[in-house]
């Protein structure tokens, strides 16, 4: 067999394996990390609108945005977790992280209007995602 042909076949095989690994292993991990970061940034952005009672219209609109953003993030977090490769799910379990629990808690967080309860739920979500709890 010609060395050039063998080199081409090895290159094609390596490219196919690399494409498969990136598509089915790394992309889902990167999507998960992106959603996880969005949850954290939403906590910072919407921190002041836990309860919209007595606030002006602009803050009430921001409150509604917070509720919708938390629900969307919950759905995205659950969906991206389901797409993760088994090796990464095992890695998360080893680190005692719980994205599915965080997803469920995000729904509860979106319904919370009490500042103390929201603070506790937010800290629990951050811990389940392995994010810093002191902001």
- Average confidence score pLDDT of the chain: 90
40-97 per-position pLDDT tens digit: 999 999 887 887 777 788 888 888 999 999 999 999 999 999 999 999 999 999 999 9
Structural domain spans, the chain: 29-129
How far, CA to CA in Å, does 67 sit from each of 15, 53, 61, 106? 44, 14, 10, 9
Q: How confident is the model at residue 135 (pLDDT cuts 50, 70, 90)?
A: low
Q: How confident is the model at residue 121 (pLDDT cuts 50, 70, 90)?
A: very high
Average pLDDT (93-110) is 95
Q: What is the model's pLDDT at position 56?
A: 84
How far, CA to CA in Å, does 7 sit from each of 3, 44, 120? 6, 52, 58
For the chain, give the number of residues.
Answer: 135
Q: How confident is the model at residue 21 (pLDDT cuts 50, 70, 90)?
A: confident
| CA geometry: angle 27, 31, 36, nearest 5 deg | 150
Report the interhelical angle of 99-111 vs 57-83 (nearest 10°).
Answer: 160
The more confidently predicted of residues 111 and 55 is 111
| CA geometry: angle 23, 26, 32, nearest 5 deg | 115
Q: What is the DSSP letter of 17?
A: H
Residue 130: φ, ψ to 5°: 75, 30
Average pLDDT (30-46) is 94
The more confidently predicted of residues 91 and 21 is 91
6-19 per-position pLDDT tens digit: 888 888 888 888 88
Q: What is the model's pLDDT at position 47?
A: 83
């Amino acid at each position: 067999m010609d060395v050039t042909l063998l080199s081409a076949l090895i290159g094609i095989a390596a490219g196919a394996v690399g494409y498969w690994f990136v598509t089915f292993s790394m992309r889902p991990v990167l999507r998960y990390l992106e959603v996880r970061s969005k949850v954290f940034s939403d906590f910072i952005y919407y921190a002041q609108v836990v309860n919209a009672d007595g606030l002006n219209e602009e803050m009430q609109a921001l409150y509604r945005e917070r509720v919708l953003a938390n629900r969307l993030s919950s759905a995205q977090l659950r969906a991206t977790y389901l797409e993760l490769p088994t090796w990464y799910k095992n890695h998360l379990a080893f680190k005692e992280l719980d994205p599915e629990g965080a997803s469920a808690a995000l729904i509860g967080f979106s319904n919370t209007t009490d500042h103390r309860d929201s603070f506790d739920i937010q800290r629990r979500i951050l811990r389940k995602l392995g994010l810093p709890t002191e902001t």
